Amino acid sequence: MNSVDSARPTLPDGEQDPPIISENPTRPGHPVRAKRSTRSARKNRDWVHGLAMSAPAVVGLIVFVGVPFGYAVVLSFYNVRLGSPLAPSFFGLEQYRRLFTDPDLSGPFLRALLNNLTFAGVVVPLQTALALALAILLNRKLKAIGLFRSFFFMPVVFPMALVAVIWRLILARSDQGMLNSALDLVSFGNWGAFSWLGDATTAMASIIVLSVWQGVGFQMVILLAGLQQIPNELYEAARLDRATRWQQFRHVTLPGIRGTLVFVAMLTSVLSFRVFDQVYILVRGGGLDEDATRTVMYQAVTTAFDQNNIGQASAITVVFFLIVVALTLVQRRVVRPGNED
Amino acid sequence: MATPRTQLRRLMDYAVLSVLAFVFTLPVTYLFLGSLKPSDEVLNGLSGFLPTHLSFDNYFAVLDALNSESTGYFWRFMGVSLLLAFVVVTGGLFVNSMAAYGLSRLKWRGREAVMTLILLLMLIPFESVAVPLFYMFNDQRNTLLIQALPFIANAFSVYQFHTFFRSIPPSIEEAARLDGAGPWRTFFAIVVPMSKPAFASVAILTFLIQWGSFLWPVLMVSDPSVRPLPLEMSVFQGQEPLDWGQTLAFGVLLVLPVLAVFAFFQRWFVQGVANSAIKG
């Protein structure tokens, strides 16, 4: 709005002249005024164009994200079942009470929550550290380095439905499974066949391994870009000071990519709460131990889809969202620039 | 420069990288090799890696097995996936870039509020609206439209375009607009051609996510005639008797389109991911 005022060559100080501002800008006048009026008319129409341009996306986001999100909160206060002849009844906080304290219903949900926390607790540090190691390893000026980067990035483009199936084969419980035969070979036959997916103690570890394999390239690429932002002079200076490789890593590399590292850890932790595909596929078709690997989203989908219990599934969804938002906020707060060291 | 010591170092680097890359890509090797081997040789200990009895029989067998009304047709699953990806990517590019332009370059009251709303909506992962959406659109199950529609408008894409457009110097557009071009023409004739990197990286990221999309089809699709490939993959591998050779051949067919895109547009993709991350 100030740009219109400052465009007037004859009025150096618009602030002290309020009547001019309230003047109708579209009124025809002498040439200077006419020019000004088309300018402001264009400015005025900008809101029409701006609104029209953003409308499709905004409407789409409201219909498919905003409204359903609000609806999830509403549904979580009701007893709603799909295909039930009974009308939805108001339930208050009953769904949440059931999720957390009902002896019959809370078991699977709390287990899912615990599983998800375990998954995130292992995957976030493991995957971030691995991605960082790979990024440092691949941040060299070598011939064909791009090819090596592609190798590590490749699984990222694999649909999870496929990754789950490949690993189902690798972790197959028969003594002919890839991992079992490899272990058999290195242990000279002392290591019997093991049911990696079916055993409750290794089921989650299996899911973690295949998830990290699929996702680590994504974090690696982000960290690689972060590493490349660090000026080379810093390393040269460090080398002049006879800094060891570890000292260079500790005092040049780490501070240089701290922001990226935080971003990656945050992204990974949010992603790790969204785990669903691999668990669903391997439970349904791969003999994966369900109780040891059910996640919050798995619980939401089975509650909504298999039990038709929309109200409860919505409550799970709301809890899921609160966790994701809390993670985002906590991490933004804890690891803020200046808080380190 | 290339002293024996640095040369040795370089050799070591290559050795370490090669071993790591080899181990890391073993599952991929296994996928491609196994898809070419007779089924009884796939799940057969470490000899699953031996390139013996290679043929494309599994591929033909998959196309043969999925070739009836009751099982669905393989090419139809592929077609559904391609169509959904096409609609979501092109529709998304159009709608989201336009919104980002209207919100970053046109000055109007309330645009900050709208942008804030979009950034807030970006916090909501699809997972947390899947259940209510499933309930809201339950009578639309097994349609193509409901599989594509929720993913066209995308807050993250708007955000990516928004960051990109703000980095373009405004002088070029100003010139166009002084010449009498309206905001629409300025956008389509000047800004869009200048923003190819942003369009490419958003397109590739959207394609990648859409191609692997699984949660929404699980909830919304039971009819084989509108079933996308990843969902069919999970159905296929869950059927008895399981044929490993065919399952892996199916897997290769599922991943080939996205591998092709990755191979051709790798640079754009990696750049796009990295840029959005650094700025975010």
- Would you state the pLDDT for residue A172? 86
Please tell me the distance from the alpha carbon of residue A306 to that of residue B49, in angstroms, as a whole number.
39
pLDDT at position B110, please? 86
**What pLDDT, in 10s, does the model give residues B151-193?**
999 999 999 999 889 888 888 888 888 888 888 888 998 899 9
Give the number of other CB atoms < 10 A from CB of residue A190. 8
Confidence check on the interface: ipTM exceeds 0.85, yes or no: yes
Reported as a pLDDT band with limits 50, 70 and 90, residue A195 is confident
Instruction: Return the SS3 of B85.
Output: helix
Given this model, what pLDDT does residue A209 score? Answer: 95
Residue A89, H or E segment: strand A89-90
Chain A residues in contact with B123 by the CB 8 A cut-off are 324-325, 328
Provide, as residue numbers in chain A, all residues whose Cβ is less than 8 Å from the Cβ of B128: 69, 72, 317-318, 320-321, 324
- Please give the Cα distance from A269 to A211 (Å, whole number): 13
Substitution target in A165, A245, A321 with the highest count of B β-carbons within 10 Å is A165
Residues 6+ away with beta carbon under 8 Å from B160: B100, B198, B201, B202, B272, B276
Looking at CA atoms only, how far is residue A61 from chain B in angstroms?
A: 6
The answer to whether residue B19 scores a pLDDT higher than 90 is: yes
Q: Does residue B176 sit at the A interface (CB-CB below 8 Å)?
A: no
Q: For the structural domain made of A98-334, what CATH number should be given?
A: 1.10.3720.10
Q: State how far the alpha carbon of A293 is from the alpha carbons of A30, A104, B48, B63, B158, in Å.
A: 77, 19, 28, 34, 35
Q: Give the relative orientation of helices B244-279 and B74-104 as an angle to the nearest 10 degrees.
A: 0
* CB within 8 Å: A60 and B153: yes
CATH 1.10.3720.10 residue ranges for chain A: 98-334
Q: Per-residue pLDDT tens for A162-184?
A: 999 999 988 988 777 888 888 88
Residue of B nearest to A212 (CA): B24
Q: B152 touching A, CB under 8 A? A: yes
- How many pairs of residues across A and B have Cβ atoms under 8 Å apart? 293
- Say if residues A193 and B64 touch (Cβ distance below 8 Å): no
Q: Do A226 and B255 touch (CB under 8 A)?
A: no
Q: Residue type at B43? A: L
CA-CA distances (angstroms) from residue A176 to A181, A193, B28, B42?
A: 6, 8, 18, 9
Element (H, E) at A293: helix A290-293
**CB of A168 within 8 Å of any CB in chain B?**
yes
Residues of chain A with C-beta less than 8 angstroms from the C-beta of B108: 46-47, 50-51
Share of residues in chain A with pLDDT > 70 (%) = 84
Per the structure block, which two tokens stand in for A203?
Answer: 């089921």
Is B137 within 8 Å of chain A by CB? no
Task: Give all domains of chain B, ordered by start, each with its CATH number.
Answer: 4-64 (no CATH), 72-239 (1.10.3720.10)
- Cβ contact (<8 Å) for A169 and B99? no
Q: Do A162 and B254 touch (CB under 8 A)?
A: yes
User: How many alpha carbons lie under 13 Å from residue A211 in its C-beta half-sphere?
Assistant: 28
Give the tens place of pLDDT for each residue, B199-233: 988 998 899 899 999 999 999 999 999 999 999 99
> What's the pLDDT tens digit per position in A208-217?
999 999 999 9
Distances (CA, A) of A322 to A38, A108, A296, B75: 50, 19, 12, 41
Kindly report the pTM of this predicted structure. 0.85
pLDDT given for residue B261 in this prediction:
87
H/E element holding B68?
A: strand B67-68
pLDDT at A11 over 60: no
